[in-house]
Chains A and B, each alone.
Chain A
Amino acid sequence: MGILEDISLLLQKGKAKKVKELVQQAIDEGIDAKVILDEGLLAGMNAVGDQFQAGEIFVPEVLVAARAMNVGTDLLKPLLQAGKSEVQGKVCIGSIKGDLHDIGKNLVRMMMEGKGLEVIDLGNDVAPERYVDTAVQEGCNIIACSALLTTTMGQMQNVVNLAKEAGIRDKVYIMVGGAPVTEAFCEQIGADKYTNDATAAAEAAVAYCKSL
């Protein structure tokens, strides 16, 4: 299966143009879109996640790899929808109210997408209500909140409280992260999961969705 491996390797190097060409070629060769996605693009992004976690690559490399992945998934999307691929789970993510830091949040989104999850990105400065409303309306399995400021992370408590009030607390898995956040803080506010990096965040999200 040379071409899928090539797609994966080129994605890891962030070669968006080449990835696009090869994905098109794979489609033309009649390889199933789901297989191209899983064994080409997502396999590549998985490797990127592992290298990032090990410290071998950093933010810029992840960003270019994710761009390459998106170029590829854009080509596959129409074909996948036709064949109705099963989505593993749905996440809404955002940087918490008061906070405009979004690099970490974006990495988490990319890693989650790289695991085949459907992610709704609410952007930054997101009010607690918006996470909860989105989760209700879109039927999200996971709410993921990112905070980079000691002064904004407290808002995450409100997300947990509002989810309870909305009666969806037992239906959503609330994940929290960002540099000042700790596991102890996660427990204290009654959220479900803290991880200190984006790869682990995506893995935890997948593990939760699989447990459903």
Chain B
Amino acid sequence: MAIQGENGCRVLLEGRTVQARSGQTISRLLQGRQLAVELPCGGNGKCGKCKVRASGCLSPLSREEQALLTPAEIAAQIRLACCTMIEGDCRIELIQDSELAKIAVHGAAAVTVRQPRYRRYGLAVDIGTTTVAMKLFDRQRELGDHSGRNSQSVFGADVITRIDQALHGRSRQIQQVTAAGLNEMISSLCSACSIGSEEIDLAVITGNTAMLYLLTGSDPDCLAHTPFIADRLFGETVPPGQLGLQLAPAAQVYLTRCLSAYVGGDIASAILASGITATPETALLADIGTNGEMALWHQQRLLCCSTAAGPAFEGAEITMGMNAVPGAIDQLWIADQQIACHVIGDIAPHGLCGSGIIDAVSVLRELELIQPSGAFAKEDLAARQLAAELSGQPACCLAEGVYLSQRDIRQVQLAKSAICAGMRTLAAVAGISLDEVQTLYLAGGFGNYLNIASAVKIGLLPQQLAAKTRVIGNAALHGAALALTDERFSERELLSSLPVEVVDLAANPVFMKQYIGCMEF
């Protein structure tokens, strides 16, 4: 193979020839081109999810790849994009599912335009860590919505990994990739509604604190280490040009108010949209995502916290975890004492998405194949001929070719316990028992797909709240839309009038006790 230039390499990438620098990792090359290969662990060689098919002049298999790839994958020229260096001419094909989960807008309640703050067209946006969702309005009604993967995912799956990248000199790049991703979505939403994006004169953008930091290119150092005190909480208007958003030149962008470093504008917006603080009832609101934010409204007190559950319910920490795309098992149940499942797209299963993971653990508990401690009941597993091995771990076969390992179950325990313990801690701080909670609102995309009974069975949600749970979908987006379409809904004023207390779980002994206690099933 001819090596070009000094250290330039020719890479055949998805059928096109591009130039790369020798010594560059595949992930860096793809990031530079905004190609969608996700780096769940931020390119640390830990998660084994950044698979591509690559051949030619490449660095030898790294230790991480040897540990994370199966012999069959190695034979099929699968490599980890973050571990493989381009050393000369080569060929790269993307194999990740680029289809995105349409979870983001779903369930956000319809919004009636009352007293719009914009002159012609208004846009409400929720920048979630994983997905971005938006709605477009004219002065009469909602015109349409759109959702897609957050283009920042190429910098890591969770906010901390992205913050770390920003602190290592990529702040501008992340800002630009975020804006470019938003612009692309705005433009396709606008063309679907037959308007031009330059006709939008107001956008209300919500998101967690880190998302707003990265969008505005603010220095996120204060979000990176203890004591985690955000020096910017937003609730402010900026010109779109400052963010690189293509709206009307004189348009305004309002960034919603955050409550703390890890209780962001999205959860604040969801609280207001849910209306809990306008009633005398005791209510709990939770977003079962990576950050696991939640709030308890009780006797004129609003207690909030963030439980850092991790991305297990998005499939990221689970060996065969995947997005809710064709091939993912999204439901499991017991039929005739056997495990039965539904696969998205009705094709052969090749993994589990979040709702499937929770169902799987619930089903295995029901069949007593997992003990209350979380350990497999090895003999019963063997007796049912379900015992298997996955990445060197004992595992259970759920369906042809799909397994859940002991380590996966441990990850589920760490995550579900964080959510449940967070709820118990808020109740304890308020001095009540969870029985007193009248309604549990589940916000966020995941709530729509979650089987509540399974979630209760595995102890993700407290038993007492099983029958009191209401799924409200993307309430953050709903809140942003309310702020946009109703002048009387002043989110900043509402928030500043509320007695908000952010509970720091790291310093809370009740949380630690509950966290250990809730790990059992």
**How far apart sit A149 and B167, CA to CA, in the bound complex (Å)?**
14
**How far apart sit A59 and B518, CA to CA, in the bound complex (Å)?**
11
**B520 closest partner in A (C-beta):** A60
Q: How many residues of A contact B (CB 8 A)?
A: 24
**How far apart sit A73 and B337, CA to CA, in the bound complex (Å)?**
48
**How far apart sit A25 and B499, CA to CA, in the bound complex (Å)?**
57
In the bound complex, do residue A98 and residue B373 qualify as a contact, i.e. CB atoms below 8 Å apart?
no
In the bound complex, do residue B516 and residue A100 qualify as a contact, i.e. CB atoms below 8 Å apart?
no
In the bound complex, do residue B164 and residue A182 qualify as a contact, i.e. CB atoms below 8 Å apart?
no
Task: Pick the contact of B160: A63, A100, A125, A150 (CB < 8 A).
Answer: A150
Q: Tell me what chain A mostly uses at the interface: helix, strand, loop, or mixed.
A: loop
**How far apart sit A152 and B160, CA to CA, in the bound complex (Å)?**
10
In the bound complex, do residue A100 and residue B506 qualify as a contact, i.e. CB atoms below 8 Å apart?
yes
A82 contacts the other chain (CB 8 A) = no
In the bound complex, do residue B516 and residue A60 qualify as a contact, i.e. CB atoms below 8 Å apart?
yes
Of A56, A150, A152, most buried by chain B (CB within 10 Å of CB) is A150
In the bound complex, do residue A99 and residue B226 qualify as a contact, i.e. CB atoms below 8 Å apart?
yes
Task: Pick the contact of B519: A55, A60, A100 (CB < 8 A).
Answer: A60
Which residues of A46-82 have CB atoms within 8 Å of chain B's CB atoms?
55-61, 63
In the bound complex, do residue B407 and residue A55 qualify as a contact, i.e. CB atoms below 8 Å apart?
yes
In the bound complex, do residue A151 and residue B224 qualify as a contact, i.e. CB atoms below 8 Å apart?
yes
- A150-B225 contact, Cβ under 8 Å, with A55-B394, A59-B519: no
**How far apart sit A184 and B373, CA to CA, in the bound complex (Å)?**
33
Which residues of B382-404 have CB atoms within 8 Å of chain A's CB atoms?
393-394
Please, which residues of chain B bring their CB within 8 A of the CB of A149?
A: 160, 224-225
Min Cβ gap A68→B in Å is 15
A109 contacts the other chain (CB 8 A) = no
A-contact bits for B160-196, CB 8 A (1 contact / 0 none) = 1101100100000000000000000000000000000
In the bound complex, do residue B225 and residue A180 qualify as a contact, i.e. CB atoms below 8 Å apart?
no
A-contact bits for B8-27, CB 8 A (1 contact / 0 none) = 00000000000000000000
Min Cβ gap A174→B in Å is 20
A-contact bits for B53-66, CB 8 A (1 contact / 0 none) = 00000000011100
**How far apart sit A11 and B375, CA to CA, in the bound complex (Å)?**
19
Which residues of B366-390 have CB atoms within 8 Å of chain A's CB atoms?
373-375
In the bound complex, do residue B45 and residue A58 qualify as a contact, i.e. CB atoms below 8 Å apart?
no
**How far apart sit A61 and B45, CA to CA, in the bound complex (Å)?**
30
**How far apart sit A63 and B517, CA to CA, in the bound complex (Å)?**
11
**How far apart sit A98 and B78, CA to CA, in the bound complex (Å)?**
37
Please, which residues of chain B bring their CB within 8 A of the CB of A56?
A: 375
In the bound complex, do residue B42 and residue A55 qualify as a contact, i.e. CB atoms below 8 Å apart?
no
In the bound complex, do residue B516 and residue A59 qualify as a contact, i.e. CB atoms below 8 Å apart?
yes
Task: Pick the contact of B225: A63, A151, A183 (CB < 8 A).
Answer: A151
Min Cβ gap A65→B in Å is 12
**How far apart sit A180 and B47, CA to CA, in the bound complex (Å)?**
10
In the bound complex, do residue A150 and residue B63 qualify as a contact, i.e. CB atoms below 8 Å apart?
no
B41 contacts the other chain (CB 8 A) = yes
- A58-B519 contact, Cβ under 8 Å, with A149-B225, A152-B225: yes
**B394 closest partner in A (C-beta):** A55
B-contact bits for A179-198, CB 8 A (1 contact / 0 none) = 11011110000000000000
A115 contacts the other chain (CB 8 A) = no
**How far apart sit A152 and B413, CA to CA, in the bound complex (Å)?**
24
- A58-B373 contact, Cβ under 8 Å, with A150-B161, A151-B160, A182-B44: yes
**How far apart sit A157 and B156, CA to CA, in the bound complex (Å)?**
22
A105 contacts the other chain (CB 8 A) = no
B301 contacts the other chain (CB 8 A) = no
A97 contacts the other chain (CB 8 A) = yes
Min Cβ gap B512→A in Å is 8
Min Cβ gap A155→B in Å is 8
Min Cβ gap B279→A in Å is 35
Min Cβ gap B422→A in Å is 15
Min Cβ gap A82→B in Å is 36
In the bound complex, do residue A58 and residue B413 qualify as a contact, i.e. CB atoms below 8 Å apart?
yes
**How far apart sit A98 and B394, CA to CA, in the bound complex (Å)?**
35
In the bound complex, do residue B520 and residue A151 qualify as a contact, i.e. CB atoms below 8 Å apart?
no
Besides A56-B375, A57-B375, A58-B373, 19 new A-B residue pairs in contact (Cβ under 8 A), listed by A number: A55-B394, A55-B407, A55-B410, A57-B373, A60-B516, A60-B519, A60-B520, A98-B226, A99-B225, A100-B226, A125-B226, A151-B163, A151-B164, A180-B46, A182-B44, A182-B45, A183-B63, A184-B45, A184-B64
Residues of A within 8 A of B (CB): 55-61, 63, 97-101, 125, 149-152, 179-180, 182-185
Of all A-B residue pairs in the complex, the 6 with the closest CB atoms, nearest first, are A98-B225, A151-B224, A55-B406, A100-B506, A150-B164, A151-B164
| Sampled A-B contacts (12; CB under 8 Å) | A55-B393, A55-B407, A55-B410, A58-B413, A60-B373, A101-B506, A150-B160, A151-B160, A152-B225, A182-B45, A184-B45, A184-B63
